[in-house]
Each structure stands twice: as structure tokens, then as C-alpha cells.
Amino acid sequence: MRAQVGIVGAGPAGLLLSHLLALRGVESVVVEARSRAYCEARQRAGVLEDGSVRLLRAAGLAGRLDRQGLEHGGIYLQFAGERHHIDFRALTGGRTVTIYAQTEVVKDLIAQRLAQGGAVHFDVTDTEVDRLESDKPVLRYTSSDGRRHEVVCDAIAGCDGFHGICRPAIPRHLLTVNEREYPYAWLGILADVPPSTDELIYAHHARGFALHSLRSLTVSRLYLQVDRDVSIESWPDERVWYELRTRFELPGSRWTLKEGPVLDKSVTPMRSFVSAPMRYGRLFLAGDAAHIVPPTGAKGLNLAIADVAMLAPALASLLRGDLGPARAYSAACLSRVWRATHFSWWMTTMLHRAPGADDMEAQLQLSQLRYVATSPAAATSLAENYTGYPELPI
Ligand code: FAD
Ligand code: DHB
């Protein structure tokens, strides 16, 4: 079989790349290890940057996003029993973020690709990439009916996430890998209850970080800092709600946390990881395959979108014989990746309580939080990073 571009992974990066290529007249084959139902149900991110929304809109993918997405003009930072609003609109000249779940982005992308006759193969096994140094790299996989396929491509995109097979296909000595694991994790719940807040609350607390997010006007998404090696069984629903109530409590105010049935519960480890370069021969990595950020700051999904916004035109140029943009791809992405890596690390270390942290550490965090809450200069830095920096050129 032949395809101009072989894409490994039907997460946001792989699916959006396939769509952006189709808009440029480039055909691709997407292979995915999981089922369609699994990809559409996997609970992950929920915040789209301004530029991500504009890109999805420009690509004709924002029908449901424009109807159901919730535009937020800021966040709350809570610490020392006070809740402060950071006003993105005022600080950044009108920029906002939009609450629209990754599950919905993925559903929209799958529906669009299939409606347009795009090749997306779910439930594949034994994916392999080969001959990456040649100008005819090869993608092999076994389809769900047990047949083995070999697709000869002009380029391959590794959009297969952190645990995929594409990054390990690059000779290790050619990669520079920077990695940091954090000594805590996030326990996330989806709850069938209207959110108790109009905008997200990021809370610093002596018992650990908590985040109040949402998925709609009737469904809340909440996160708690927990120990890294925690077992989910040790967090029954009552314990989760108790801890959320405690960490969001605002002494002296009438604010309360609404509680409801827990629809989903999972634990996410936290790590910063950047593997460079993001290209090897005709293999191009995008999204979590090349980099991971801790979730504080909601950058993971947005970085995946930004990568493929660069990769699609670069691959279209490559197919026309102009290799310049493909050669520039890695460096162009890594500049944004490192900005987001720093921002996510900064938000994470400012808001979480590290095991064994002393009062000095806590006072430094509180001083930084108070600075952000009271200085327009400091708040602007948070606001422009949170809404996306640099702005996507759309
Ligand atoms: P993925 O979404 O991981 O997609 C990769 C796809 O490749 C998957 O569908 C996978 O099944 C497939 N694949 C893997 N190996 C193969 C193979 N060998 N063959 C074929 N297919 C393969 N970000 C936030 O901003 N906020 C959050 O709250 C948040 N929570 C998260 C929770 C979890 C558990 C995880 C893992 C990530 C979370 N993230 C969050 C990060 C965000 O969801 C990711 O950055 C985003 O999914 C990246 O998209 P992607 O397409 O690069 O990778
Ligand atoms: C969500 C996740 C994040 O990591 C974050 O910083 C904000 C919101 C969410 O899933 O809604």
C-alpha cells in the first residue's frame, strides 16, 4: 500500500494532523492501537488556549466547540484562605481560554475524518516504523482482522503519545532527553454536579493542591494532589469530597462546594519530559510522543495542537520538494515546548506541597502567589502564558 503520510496514533495530534493535511490535499493513513470507543471516552484535558480554538475554527472543526464550549476570561488563585481573580481579558488585550473536553475534540475529529473518507484504522497491533532515513519510510501494522499491512510513505508522523513506538525508533545517541518526575500525582474525578464556580480555581493548601474545573454547566471536573504511589482504592468518594471541601474552604464566606455522583476517577503521574530533536530523517514526532508537561497550567493538549499546526504545512512543502520547513520543524516547536515546560513547572512548584517541604518552602510559594495576585506585571506573565505564548500564527 502507498500513502503520502503514515500517522501513528489517533489522539488529538494524529487526528488533527490528518485533517490539516487533507485540507492541503495530502492523504494520510492513521493507525491506532485502541478502539474508537476507548479513544472517545479517555478522560484527559479540558482547557483550549485562544490559539487552539482559532486553529480548530479555521480548520472547520468548531461547530460543536462554538455551541458547547465555555469561554473563560480568567482563573482564580486561592491561597492562605483568600481567593483572587486573575483577569486574562484585561491583562492580555482580550484573550481567553475555552473549556471543551479533549474527549469532545477527539469525537469531533474522528467524525470529521470518517465523514470525509479519511483512513483511520482502530484496534491495530504490532505497529512498526522502518527505513526512516530513506525517502520512502515504511509503516507496518496488523489490522483488527489479523491481516498484516505494509504502507510505503513519503513521511511518517509519530503521534503515538509518551508510551508509543516512534520515539524509541530514533537511535538513542541522537536524542537529548530532559526529564523530571514530581514527587506527587493528581487524582481526578468527573462528577455529575453543576460546577461550584464560574471559572477554574487553582488552590494552594497546606494539605496539598486542589483544582476545580468543569466540563459543562452540569458536570464538574476536580483534581487533588495525592502521593505519587497512591492506590485509587485508598481514595473512596467520601474521602475525595472531604479533601476537596477542606482544600477549597474559604473561611468567612458563604461559598460551598456542591457534591454529586462520581462518574470517573483516575490518577495521573506528573512529569516534565522533552526529547529533542523532534525529527529523524522522515519521521516527525508530535505531541506527547516528544514531550510531556505536568498538567498544572493545561498545556499538554495545546502543545499537541501547536505541533501539528506547524507539521502539516511542513509536510505539504516536503511533498512539493521544499525541505526547508520540515528541517525547521523541530527547532520551531521546541521553542514553544520549552516555554510551556517552564510555565507548567512554575505553576506546579508554586502550587503543590512537596513531601517533606518546610515552612521556608511554603513561605516562598505564598510570597510568589501574593505577587501574582497583586502585581499586574506578574499577573500578566501568568495570563499570557496560560492563554498561549507565543500566539499561534493563524
Ligand atoms: P495521546 O492523546 O496520548 O494519543 C496517542 C495515541 O497513540 C493514543 O490514542 C494511543 O493509543 C496511540 N498509540 C500509542 N502507541 C501506539 C502504537 N504502537 N500503535 C498505534 N497507536 C498507538 N493535559 C492537560 O492539559 N490537562 C489534563 O488534565 C491532562 N490530563 C491527562 C491525563 C492523562 C492520564 C494523560 C496520559 C494525559 C493528560 N494530559 C492532560 C495531557 C494531554 O491529554 C495530552 O498532552 C494529549 O493527549 C496529547 O495528545 P497526543 O495526541 O500527543 O497523545
Ligand atoms: C483541566 C486540567 C488541567 O490540567 C488544568 O490545569 C485545568 C483544567 C481540566 O481537565 O479541566
Tell me if 294 CB under 6 Å of ligand 1: no
What was the pLDDT predicted at 390?
Answer: 93
Cβ atoms of 158 and 167 within 8 Å: the answer is yes
* Residue 310 banded pLDDT, cuts 50, 70, 90: very high
Residue at grid coordinates 499577573 = 379
Distance, CA of 376 to CA of 359 (rounded, Å): 27
HEC string of 361-373 equals HHHHHHHHHHHHH
Q: Mean of the per-residue pLDDT values for the chain? A: 97
C-alpha cell at 11: 489522539
Catalytic residue among 12, 137, 195, 295: 295
Half-sphere exposure of 183 (CA within 13 A, CB side): 7
Percent of the chain with pLDDT over 90: 99
Cα-to-centroid distance, 125 and ligand 1 (Å): 17
Distance, CA of 21 to CA of 25 (rounded, Å): 6
Classify strands 148-152 and 138-142 as parallel, antiparallel or unpaired: antiparallel
Tell me if 295 CB under 6 Å of ligand 2: yes
Max Cα separation, the chain?
A: 68
- CB atoms inside a 10 Å sphere around CB 181: 12
Catalytic residue among 182, 184, 202, 280: 202
Is there a catalytic annotation at residue 202?
A: yes
For residue 184, pLDDT beyond 90: yes
**pLDDT 10s digits, 187-200:** 999 999 999 999 99
> ∠ CA(153), CA(318), CA(113), 5° rounding?
60
Q: DSSP for 325-337?
A: HHHHHHHHHHHHH
Distance, CA of 34 to CA of 119 (rounded, Å): 15
Q: What are the CA-CA distances from residue 148 to residues 30, 33, 120, 145 (Å)? A: 15, 14, 16, 9
**pLDDT 10s digits, 148-175:** 999 999 999 999 999 999 999 999 999 9
Tell me if 11 CB under 6 Å of ligand 2: no
Distance, CA of 189 to CA of 243 (rounded, Å): 12
Tell me if 75 CB under 6 Å of ligand 2: no
Q: Whose CA is nearest to atom 46 of ligand 1?
A: 301
Tell me the best of 166, 288, 291 to mutate to test the pocket of ligand 1, counting ligand atoms within 8 Å of each CB and taking the most: 288
Cβ atoms of 340 and 45 within 8 Å: the answer is no
For residue 393, pLDDT beyond 90: no
Q: Whose CA is nearest to atom 12 of ligand 1?
A: 9
Distance, CA of 23 to CA of 38 (rounded, Å): 27
C-alpha cell at 351: 502550587
C-alpha cell at 164: 508509543
Tell me the best of 35, 40, 44 to mutate to test the pocket of ligand 1, counting ligand atoms within 8 Å of each CB and taking the most: 44
C-alpha cell at 290: 516528544
Half-sphere exposure of 276 (CA within 13 A, CB side): 15
Distance, CA of 342 to CA of 12 (rounded, Å): 23
Is there a catalytic annotation at residue 295?
A: yes
Tell me if 161 CB under 6 Å of ligand 1: yes
**pLDDT 10s digits, 3-12:** 999 999 999 9
What was the pLDDT predicted at 208?
Answer: 98
What was the pLDDT predicted at 394?
Answer: 78
Tell me if 158 CB under 6 Å of ligand 1: no
For residue 71, pLDDT beyond 90: yes
Tell me if 11 CB under 6 Å of ligand 1: yes
Residue at grid coordinates 490528518 = 18
**pLDDT 10s digits, 316-373:** 999 999 999 999 999 999 999 999 999 999 999 999 999 999 999 999 999 999 999 9
**pLDDT 10s digits, 13-37:** 999 999 999 999 999 999 999 999 9
- 268: burial class by Cβ within 10 Å (0-12, 13-18, 19+)? middle
